[in-house]
Structure 1
Amino acid sequence: MKVSSSAHAMCDASAIGLSALCLAHCLLLPVLAALLPVFGSWAQAEWVHLLFACIALPLAGAALWRAHRLRPLPLPLVAMAALGLAGLMAGAFEFPSHAWETPITVSGSLLLAAAHLWNWRRRPHCALD
């Protein structure tokens, strides 16, 4: 089954957008929390972290699987994406502790976004190469 190039690009673009949204949540929401009490309750709500992680896992998996079907993924790209997803999940579950939640989540988000960007640039018709 041939995967269309536009579907491939849409999956990567969605995954990059979700990673950026997660990063904005981690870095900007605490600042907004000081200004608006409603955002303060969302910044600490565990359901927000779990929701982002639960959306990121299948979206990233689908984007990378589609790319792999077109052209095999290099092992470092797979490792980068896996570490990024692991960081997002560890942050969502506050592993190893609450104090490490933000640094681990931000690192995971950046790794996953970088993996998707690398994957996007691997497309044969991409002008950025």
Structure 2
Amino acid sequence: MNKTNLVSLRIITSDIKRLVKFYEQATEATAKWSTDDFAEILSNSFTLAIGSNRTLAFFGEGTAEPAANRSVIIEFLVENVDDDYERIKDLTHEIVQKPTTMPWGNRSLLFRDPDGNLINFFTPVNEQAKNKFA
């Protein structure tokens, strides 16, 4: 077993209340706020942390830039991506890809959060993909 375990992903934003509300609605989970500048969406396997750009003062100038990501996809395993699409399409202004079955066996919905970060909601649909996430 690897001694290094990924436990969270942090998004830096200039509008933390808006972004936390979006992720609460998208994931149907309630965020845990530590301060006015930091909140977390917790799941059984992972934490999505959301920090305001004011938290960057602790890391040093220029370490991160809100709403500048075009290389990371935040992925959520969901029970039924088609059902979630009906809810998500009214939550975001940018559906990148409606639910589509991918060659590797996941049915996938791609959309962007208010800061432009790419999100993938997916449901395994073939046996190989289902076994991977069982």
Normalising by structure 2, report the TM-score: 0.30
Higher strand share: 2
Of structures 1 and 2, the one scoring higher in RCO (CA 8 A, sep 6+) is 1
TM-score normalised over the length of structure 1: 0.31
By percentage of residues, which structure has more helix?
A: 1
